[in-house]
Amino acid sequence: MDRSGRPRLGFIGTGVVATALARGLTDAGYPIAAVHGRNRRRAQALVAGLPGAILAPSRQDVVDAADIVVLAVSDDAVAHVAASVRWRPGCAAVHCNGAASLDLLRAASDGGAEVGVLHPLQSFANPDQAGRLMRGSCFRVEASSERLRALLEEMASAVGGRPFVLGADPTLYHVSAVLASNYLVALLDLAASLWTEWGATPEDGLRALLPLVRGTIENIDALGIPAALTGPIARGDAGTVERHLAALRALAPHVMPVYKELGLRAVSVALAKGTIGSEQARRLEEALGSPDALSGESEGGAGCA
């Protein structure tokens, strides 16, 4: 611990999360003792912005210099990296993998270290926007001791985050995050790709769709679900949905499965909103789940995944 009683932090890994956390925690007054990364140039660049931090020649030097070592490496590398160093009682190993629990750090706990998880529930595509995005984000915290849990909660709060303990296996929690974030990107990629059907580019499509996406997110934030749902399914306009399906069958059959799956979910949301009744729901579900639509999809959809 430093003179203020704050833990000395070490980082193994120099990617986007290591950079975001190290910069944010430095700004919040935490001492960063040492950083090590496979890519020396990136490690040097990170250390240059962290007053007092040293560029550690090896992972072991980070462990030896720090009270809490953040293993901010790719998910699949965490266990291997943890097993590649000697741990000691009194220090802690922490990973940032949202889908995994403490068992990834068995090597560290076998070596006498406390172990924990600090998972920012946020999408960091580059470190420069990460500081802003961390503020207000939830951070899943898990630890082998109350002491470490409290320290990790303080770290999350110090960067403007909202720490919480899940108290369950984190795999489905991570599925939820992937659906809400990564699959939103995939969905917009699919939506924008349709613009090539009339000679525009996917980039044109994305630029046109983004204000719609922002408006939808604002509605979800202000009104919640189901109130935020609009569009043909919320209105019960089955004729429009049937026209969509006919066009997809003819021009873009690969989009049918996702359109129908999410459409069926939207029917449930519309029912919960109360803007359609059971008869309209039945007609929509028939269109979205009908064997006719399915056979049309397979006729034209040799490329369907």
Ligand X SMILES: NC(=O)c1ccc[n+]([C@@H]2O[C@H](COP(=O)([O-])OP(=O)(O)OC[C@H]3O[C@@H](n4cnc5c(N)ncnc54)[C@H](OP(=O)(O)O)[C@@H]3O)[C@@H](O)[C@H]2O)c1
Using CA atoms, how far apart are residues 93 and 103, in angstroms rounded to an integer?
12
3: Cβ contacts below 8 Å, ≥ 6 apart: none
Characterize 41-58 residue by residue with b for buried, 16 or more Cβ atoms within 10 angstroms of its Cβ, and e for exposed. Answer: ebbeebbeebeebbbbee
Q: Applying CB under 6 A, which part among 70-78, 148-156, 203-211, 267-275 lies near ligand X? A: 70-78
The yes or no reply on residue 77 touching ligand X (CB under 6 A) is: yes
Q: Judged by CB, which is closer to ligand X: 96, or 276?
A: 96
Nearest C-alpha neighbor of 266 from the set 222, 226, 238: 226
Q: Which is nearer to ligand X, 39 or 157 (CB)?
A: 39
Q: Which of 34, 62, 79, 81 touches ligand X (CB under 6 A)?
A: 81
Binding map of ligand X across residues 29-68, x = CB under 6 A, - = no contact: --------xxx--x--------------------------
Residue 101 binds ligand X (CB under 6 A): no
Contact between 72 and 17 under an 8 Å Cβ cutoff? The reply is yes
Question: Interface with ligand X includes 96 (CB under 6 A)?
Answer: yes
Nearer to ligand X by C-beta: 170 or 205? 170
Among 7, 8, 9, 13, binds ligand X (CB under 6 A): 13
* 182: Cα within 13 Å, side-chain hemisphere: 7
Among 33, 50, 68, 73, binds ligand X (CB under 6 A): 73
